Amino acid sequence: MKQFLEKLSLHQPLSTIEINEAAAAIFAEHTTETEIAAFLMALKSKGETATEIAGLVDVLRQQALPIQTQARNIMDNCGTGGDGSQSFNISSTAAFVLAGAGITVAKHGSRSVSSKTGSADVLEELGINIYLETAQIEESLSEIGISFLFAPSIQPNLGRITRIRKELKIPTVFNLIGPLTNPVNLQSQLIGVYRSDMLELFANVLKKLGRKRAVAVTGAGNMDEASLQGENKIVLLNEGDITSFTLHPEEVNLPLYTNDKIRGGSAHENAAIMMSVLKNEKGAYRDTVLLNAGLGVFANGKAATILEGINTARESLESGSALAKLEALISYCQKKKVVM
C-alpha cells in the first residue's frame, strides 16, 4: 500500500493495474485500518479518475456474491444519495414501472444512509424479503423481471470498510460508487448523481465498466434523481459515445413542482406513497416517477426519446403492469422466506 500512498500524495493518478492492486489490498487482512483510511483520504484529496473508480468497482464486484441469470438487457436505476432532499423512494418506485414496461431490473440498494428511508427499508415495509439468496434473486429476475439486491448481503466483505468510513465521518469514493457495484452483468443503467460536475466522470466510468447505454442525471436543486423543479443536467452514454444536454419538464409535457412537494417520511409513509403512485394516483409523486422511469426506459434503449420513454412509463402505470410487478415480487418473497 505504501507505494500507492506515495504516488497519490504527489497527486499522480493510479493506472488500472495499480488501482486493482490497491483495491485488492484494501480487502487483505494484512492491510491495517490506518492504511485503508489513508488511502481513501489520499484518493479523495487528489481527485478520483474514471480509471481509478472503475478499477475499484471491478474489485468490489469480484468480492460480491455472484449473480448468474439468463435474462437479457438487465438494467439498474439507482442514485448516489447525499442530496439531502429527503425525497420519497423515487428510484425504487420507478423500478417497478420499468419492470412493468418489460425491462428486467436488478434493483441494487441498502438501508437509509443520508435519507429518512432507504430502498431496503421501504421494500421491506411492503413485504419484500430483502435477504433473498442468490439463487432466488436469479430466479425472480428470470421469472418476474425484477429483484432486489440488498447491498450488505451481496457484499459481505465490506464490514471493515464500513466501520472505517463511519470513523472518518468524511465522504470518500465509497459514498459515490454504491450504484456502480451491482454484481449483475448490466447492459444499461440510470444513475442519479447529486453533483453535476461529476456526471461526465460517471459516464466514463460506466463506459469502462462495459455499459452499452446509460444515463447519468443531476436533477434541479442538485437532486440525485430527475426533478420537476426545473432544468435537469443529463449525460448520455450510447455505444461508447458520450453527450451532454439539459431537460426541462415542460419539454416532455410534465408540470412543474418544487422539490418540497416530493418529500417522504418513514418507511410506512414512503410505502404508502409508492403504492399510491403504482395505483396511478395523479400528483407530484406520480409525475416525478414518470420522469425518472421515462429516463430509465430511454437509458435502457427501449425508447428512442425521453418523451417516448415517459409515454411508455405512463402506459405501465395506467395498465396496472407496474403494480402487478410489485405484487408478484411480494408474492414470490412470501413463498421463499429466508430464515435469518
Annotated binding site for 5-phospho-alpha-D-ribose 1-diphosphate: 79, 82-83, 87, 89-92, 107-115, 119
In sequence order, the β-bridge partners of residue 236 are 215, 243
The number of CA neighbours under 13 Å toward the Cβ of 226 is 33
Q: Look at residue 311 and give its three-state secondary structure.
A: helix
Binding residue ranges for Mg(2+): 91, 224-225
User: Quick check: 98 and 74 in contact, CB under 8 A?
Assistant: no
How does DSSP classify residue 107?
E
Q: Cα–Cα distance between 300 and 152 in angstroms, integer?
A: 26
Question: Which amino acid is residue 90, in one-letter code?
Answer: I
**Helices 199-208 & 50-63 angle (0-180, nearest 10):** 50
CB 169 within 8 A of CB 44: no
Instruction: Please enumerate, by residue number, every residue annotated as part of a binding site for anthranilate.
Output: 79, 165
Task: Indicate the SS3 state at residue 260.
Answer: helix
Q: What length is written for the chain?
A: 340
Rounded Cα gap, residues 176 and 174, in angstroms: 5
Contact 216, 206 (CB under 8 A): yes
- How far, in Å, CA of 81 to CA of 195, rounded? 10
From the annotation, which residues make up the binding site?
A: 79, 82-83, 87, 89-92, 107-115, 119, 165, 224-225
- Cα–Cα distance for residue pair 308/311, rounded to 1 Å: 5
Cβ neighbours of 243 (radius 10 Å): 11
Residue 45 to residue 56: CA distance in whole angstroms = 16
